[in-house]
């Protein structure tokens, strides 16, 4: 059990809880998908895990250790990376500078940083070719590749992915999901939230359905293949 959300209640202001008693477990090396209608609290859940919001009740555990109350900038140090919604490259910096900043927490260890850089270039040859280019000048798909590659610089154990398909044209969505599957094959534990339910169910090993800030269904993907359409209909 890599990442464990244990009975968490959370929200943006004290009086209003968006999530109530939510339980989610992301198993090691698996891709766990969180789906649900608009306003189900999916993004709030990721924000709570990553320390933007502090749970008012319950706990968040990573490899058995509580990460509740840590700030977002301390999470990567705990081995949790986060791909935020929308574009997140540093557009006026070169590809290599972007990647080096991905290794910010290991910046004092130049050999480790160089090794990480070499590994990324091996997995993503396109980035090696364009390493001197400013990231903002690359195509949208290449920028997403850079964002994903940048997450792996410190070899975190768990990666949270928030709405990877938002604002992308359909062709790019496929590319992004290919990259995400590749991350899983590299052994990362992944927790993903996406509006594009079919896409998420497609790649996930285990699914959680949230509704109105609470757990609704959960189970291995196989259990959802047949019922997913019914579940989506329920939302409408």
Choices 19-27, 92-100, 124-132, 206-214 (CB under 8 A): range interacting with another protein: 92-100
In terms of CB distance, is 72 or 219 closer to another protein?
72
Question: Which window, 26-34, 55-63, 66-74, 179-187, contacts another protein (CB under 8 A)?
Answer: 66-74
Pick the closer one to another protein by CB: 25 or 84: 84
Of 59, 90, 211, 218, which lies in the binding site for another protein, with binding defined by CB under 8 A? Answer: 90
**89 makes contact with another protein (CB under 8 A):** yes
Return the bridge partners of 217, or none: 209
Burial class (CB in 10 A: 0-12, 13-18, 19+), 71: exposed
Among 42, 50, 120, 192, binds another protein (CB under 8 A): 50
Candidates 20, 150, 184, 221: give the one binding another protein (CB under 8 A).
Answer: 150
Least Cβ distance, residue 188 to another protein (angstroms) = 15
Give residues in contact with another protein (CB under 8 A).
50, 72-77, 81-84, 87-93, 97, 100-102, 104-105, 107, 134, 136-137, 147, 150, 154
């Amino acid at each position: 059990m890599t990442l464990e959300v244990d009975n968490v209640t959370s929200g943006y202001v004290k009086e209003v809880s968006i999530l109530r008693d939510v339980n989610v477990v992301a198993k090691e090396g698996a891709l766990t998908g969180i789906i649900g209608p608009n306003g189900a609290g999916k993004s709030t859940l990721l924000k709570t895990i990553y320390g933007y919001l502090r749970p008012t009740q319950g706990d968040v555990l990573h490899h058995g250790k509580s990460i509740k109350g840590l700030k977002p900038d301390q999470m990567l140090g705990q081995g949790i990376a986060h791909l935020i919604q929308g574009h997140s490259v540093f557009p006026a910096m070169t590809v290599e500078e972007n990647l080096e900043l991905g290794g910010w927490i290991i910046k004092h260890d130049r050999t480790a940083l160089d090794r990480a850089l070499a590994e990324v270039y091996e997995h993503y040859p396109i980035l090696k070719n364009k390493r001197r280019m400013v990231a903002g000048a690359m195509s949208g798909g290449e920028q997403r590749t850079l964002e994903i590659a940048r997450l792996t610089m410190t070899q975190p154990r768990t990666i949270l992915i928030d709405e990877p398909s938002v604002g992308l044209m359909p062709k790019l969505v496929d590319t992004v999901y290919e990259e995400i599957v590749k991350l899983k094959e590299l052994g990362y534990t992944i927790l993903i939230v996406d509006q594009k339910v079919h896409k998420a169910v497609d790649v996930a090993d285990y699914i959680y359905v949230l509704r109105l800030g609470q757990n609704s269904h959960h189970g291995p993907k196989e259990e959802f293949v047949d019922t997913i359409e019914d579940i989506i209909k329920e939302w409408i």
